[in-house]
Amino acid sequence: MDIVFNWSYFGYLLYGAMWTLVLSACAFVLGGAAGFLVMLARTAQSRLIRQIALVYVEIIQGTPLLVLLFIAYFGLGVFGIEVPPLVAAAISLMINASAFLGEIWKGCVEAVPRTQREAAECLALTRWQAFVDVILPQAARIATPPTVGFMVQMLKNTSLASVVGFVELTRAAQVINNSTIQPFLVFGIAGTMYFVLCYPLTAWSRSLERTLNVGRR
Amino acid sequence: MRYDFDFAVLLDYWPDFLAGAWVTLQLTFLATVFGMAIGTLCAIGARGKRRWLARAIGIYVEIIRNTPFLIQIFFLYFGLASAGLRLPVFTAAVIAMVFNVAAYCSEIIRAGMDTVHPGQIEAAQSLGMSTPTIYWDVILRPAIERVYPALTGQFVLMMLSSSVASQISTEELTAVANNVQSFTFRSLETFLAIAPMYLALAALLKLSFWGIGLFAFPRRRRLGTAL
């Protein structure tokens, strides 16, 4: 008897898409926090801290996310606890995002004109005050479009969590395909769902970029 | 709890790791060459006068950029297999990578082409240069030179994402690691060992791009200034 794709399978895909969103949100919050620390380290006064941060970024950006994921998954398992795949996936996505976001944000902080920092210094603001009150608000404006762009990247990256058995959209599609064997249909629908999730972010990032350019012209 | 690391067992498998790294390099090389060629053609088409072609390329680029590579590779490999066309896994991986990276390349190159001043093209036309010459010498070469760092970054990312091809059991580095860990039960050590191999491959790729850049952009080599 042939099993064909039906609405209950579609519901299962939607359920997977929900977990994709949950995982993306976790990755963005954790990765954003860690990325902020990386950015601080990359722009630190101490040369040593800057260099350590640079080495960290180079290592993470030169290692495939899939390998990071396996290291997190098996590495946590070493401690004898059964690691939920969600935790391993969230941790590896966090590490990956921290390097990329840290590097993006470092660029944005440096893109704020030098004179702003000098003016803050003339007003006798401390280094931290100058950073929080003068540099950060301006850098955040510049950082929004590339950050939203990277969110698309993160959303797509969550598909790799399927490899350690976490049931998100891609895993759900694989499971369904294994019983129905209609790959064009199943992966086509899953791909469409990813597109529906990602495209608004892409479009938003693009329009932000346009408004920002108009403002600076 | 204590964990005793044992990297020594992995030493027996170094020929397998080497073979895996070689497959990764082959995948990367083929995807780079074809991806660059198709990406350039797409960039030209997207800026061309034929509206339908520009639209079609735009749709292709958006679809690729907004779906995960894993889904693309499954769609291609399992999809074609169900339609009766069983591609070898290596070929399927190369095709998926080419389709993927060409979309990103075309966006990057298009951005570079947009920076070429219209006056330069008009000047070339008034000098009686033929369209292919204008495209090659006046538009493409300066455009690619400008976006060369972005292209390098994109190809490094593509090399790293070739690890995803292990999921359709292409015998590249990550797939080899998967096999080795199932023989040795030393999963953590195996993946900790291939991370530096990927770092080395990434460094090798950046180095070769730098070398190709020196060769391909003599202007920069002679003058030492950015365009």
CATH code of the domain covering residue B151: 1.10.3720.10
Q: Evaluate whether residue B35 is within a structural domain.
A: yes
**Residue A170, in any domain of the structure:** yes
Judging contacts by C-beta atoms under 8 Å, the chain B residues touching residue A4 are none
Asked if A59 has any chain B CB less than 8 Å from its own CB, the reply is yes
Give yes or no for B174 touching A (CB within 8 A). Answer: yes
Domain assignment of residue A69, yes or no: yes
- Residue A134, pLDDT > 90, answer yes
Give the CA count within 13 Å in the CB-facing half-sphere of B181. 19
A4 vs B: CB within 8 A: no
List of chain A residues whose C-beta atoms are within 8 Å of the C-beta of residue B156: 61-62
Residue B153 domain flag: yes
Is B119 domain-assigned? yes
- Do residue B166 and residue A66 have CB atoms under 8 angstroms apart? yes
pLDDT-wise least confident of A72-76, A87-91, A183-187, B123-127: A72-76
A168, part of any domain: yes
A104/B contact by beta carbon, under 8 A: no
Give A162's contacts in chain B (Cβ within 8 Å). 70
**A1 lies in a domain?**
no
pLDDT at A100 over 90: yes
- Examine the pLDDT at A38 and tell me if it is beyond 90: yes
In a domain, B172, yes or no: yes
Q: What is the mean pLDDT of residues A9-13?
A: 93
- Mean pLDDT lowest among A122-126, A139-143, B8-12, B167-171: B8-12
pLDDT at B141 over 60: yes
Q: What is the mean pLDDT of chain B?
A: 92
How much of chain B, in percent, has pLDDT values that exceed 70?
Answer: 98
Q: Residue A110: which domain range?
A: 7-216
Q: Does B170 touch chain A (CB under 8 A)?
A: no
In a domain, A2, yes or no: no
Q: What is the mean pLDDT of residues A18-37?
A: 96
Q: Which domain holds residue B164?
A: 8-223
- B128 lies in some domain: yes
Residue B206 in contact with residue B156, Cβ under 8 Å? yes
- Return the pLDDT at B10: 85
Band the pLDDT of A76: cuts 50, 70, 90. confident
Question: Are A71 and B191 an interchain contact pair (Cβ–Cβ within 8 Å)?
Answer: yes
Domain total of chain B: 1
Q: Which residues of B touch A157 (CB under 8 A)?
A: 68
Put simply, the answer to whether B174 touches A67 (Cβ < 8 Å) is yes
Measured between CB atoms, does A78 come within 8 Å of chain B? Answer: yes
What CATH number corresponds to the domain at position A184? 1.10.3720.10
What integer is the mean pLDDT of A20-40? 96
Contact B67 A194 (CB under 8 A): yes
CA–CA separation, B208 and B211 (whole Å): 5
Mutate one of A187, A192, A205 to test the B interface: name it (highest B CB count within 10 A). Answer: A187
DSSP result, B52-104: HHHHHHHHHHHHHHTS-HHHHHHHHHHHHHHTT----HHHHHHHHHHHHHHHH
Examine residue A159 and state whether it is found in any structural domain, yes or no.
Answer: yes
Does any domain span residue B2? Answer: no
Burial of A8 (0-12, 13-18, 19+ CB in 10 A): exposed
In chain A, which residues have their Cβ closer than 8 Å to the Cβ of B187?
70, 74, 77
Query: What's the domain count of chain A?
Result: 1
State which residue of chain A sits closest to B62, comparing Cα positions: A199
Residue A81, domain member (yes or no): yes
* CA separation for the pair B71, B67 (Å, rounded): 7
Asked if B166 lies within 8 A of A188 by C-beta distance, the reply is no
- Report in angstroms the alpha-carbon separations of A82 from A88, A114, A165, B110: 11, 50, 13, 48
Are A74 and B69 within 8 A, CB to CB? Answer: no
Place of tokens 């902020």: A36
pLDDT of residue A216: 52
For position A1, what pLDDT does the model report? 52
Is A15 within 8 Å of chain B by CB? no
Q: Do A80 and B1 touch (CB under 8 A)?
A: yes
pLDDT at res. B79: 92
Checking ipTM against 0.95, whether it exceeds it is no
Contact at CB, B70 and A152, closer than 8 angstroms? no
Residue A217 pLDDT level (bands cut at 50, 70, 90) = very low
A206 has a pLDDT exceeding 50 = yes
φ/ψ of A92, rounded to 5, equals -65, -40
Q: How many other CB atoms are found less than 10 A from the CB of residue A66?
A: 26
Residue B1 falls within a domain, yes or no?
Answer: no
Contact A191 B72 (CB under 8 A): yes
Q: What percent of chain A has pLDDT over 70?
A: 97
